[in-house]
């Protein structure tokens, strides 16, 4: 874990952050305020960044790699709610606002590098920067809408329809997500997914 200023690839990190959906267009003064609060950290495939039920809440900006948001029941059965890659983010913002534990885990699908800060520091920053707050809240709503649409898709579309929708909506992730993970997301067996990919 390191600050941006001490990171060996700090210029690349800054460039990636300035391409982020939420941080793009941030004024220089706002950027100078935010940057010292960010920590750069890496995670290996399978590492948990956030545990379901946790009260430790953070804001993540993805620099490299893919994260997934996952819910699990008491028996350990999991459902993947979404994937997120470079220029995207993940967050515990809704749980922070509702004062509830985080209702999902955030897990590294591949090797991942993120810039992160505590939710308390992120919310404090947003309170002073209305443009960033507006962009961020829009992205949170879009993210929640995406999770809802995915859940509905699992119920309403057949297996080929679910795969076709993923390929249409997430072209940036095609070929980057392991088959097992994608099969789980689409509620298919890996074998069924392989057969469908050959057909489509």
Q: Output the DSSP codes for 41-88.
A: EEE-TT-EEE-TT-S--EEEEEEES-EEEEEE-TT--EEEEEEE-TT-
Quote the distance between the C-alpha of residue 71 and its chain's center. 14
Crossing angle for the helix pair 130-156 and 159-169, to the nearest 10 degrees: 160
Is the model's pLDDT at 200 over the cut of 80?
no
Q: Report percent pLDDT > 90 for the chain.
A: 88
Distance CA 98, CA 72 (A): 20
Spatial separation of the C-alpha atoms in residues 36 and 58, rounded to whole Å: 16
**What is the mean pLDDT of the segment spanning 92-101?**
95
Q: What is the pLDDT of residue 174?
A: 87
Q: Which CATH number fits domain 2-129: 3.40.50.2020, 1.10.3130.10, 2.60.120.10, 3.60.21.10?
A: 2.60.120.10
Per-residue model confidence (pLDDT) at position 2: 86
pLDDT digits (tens, 9 = 90+) for 29-80: 999 999 999 999 999 999 999 999 999 999 999 999 999 999 999 888 999 9
Tens digit of pLDDT for each residue in 120-156?
999 999 999 999 999 999 999 999 999 999 999 999 9
Distance in angstroms (rounded) separating the CA atoms of residues 193 and 190: 5
pTM of structure: 0.93
Domain boundaries, the chain: 2-129
């Amino acid at each position: 874990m390191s600050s941006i200023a001490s990171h060996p690839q700090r210029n690349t990190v800054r460039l990636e952050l300035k391409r982020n959906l939420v941080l793009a267009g941030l004024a220089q003064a706002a950027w100078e305020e935010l940057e010292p609060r960010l920590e750069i950290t890496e995670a290996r495939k399978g590492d948990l960044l956030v545990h379901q039920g946790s009260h430790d809440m953070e804001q993540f900006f993805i620099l490299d790699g893919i994260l997934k948001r996952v819910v699990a029941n008491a028996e350990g059965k999991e459902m993947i709610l979404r994937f997120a890659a470079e220029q995207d983010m993940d967050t515990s913002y809704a749980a922070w606002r509702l004062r509830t534990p985080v209702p999902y885990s955030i897990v590294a699908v591949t090797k991942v590098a993120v810039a992160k800060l505590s939710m308390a520091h992120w919310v404090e920053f947003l309170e002073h920067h209305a443009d960033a707050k507006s962009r961020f809240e829009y992205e949170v709503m879009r993210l929640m809408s995406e999770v809802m649409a995915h859940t509905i898709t699992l119920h309403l579309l057949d297996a080929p329809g679910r795969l076709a929708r993923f390929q249409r909506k997430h072209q940036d992730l095609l070929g980057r997500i392991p088959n097992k993970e994608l099969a789980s997301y689409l509620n298919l067996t890996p074998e069924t997914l392989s057969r469908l990919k050959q057909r489509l």
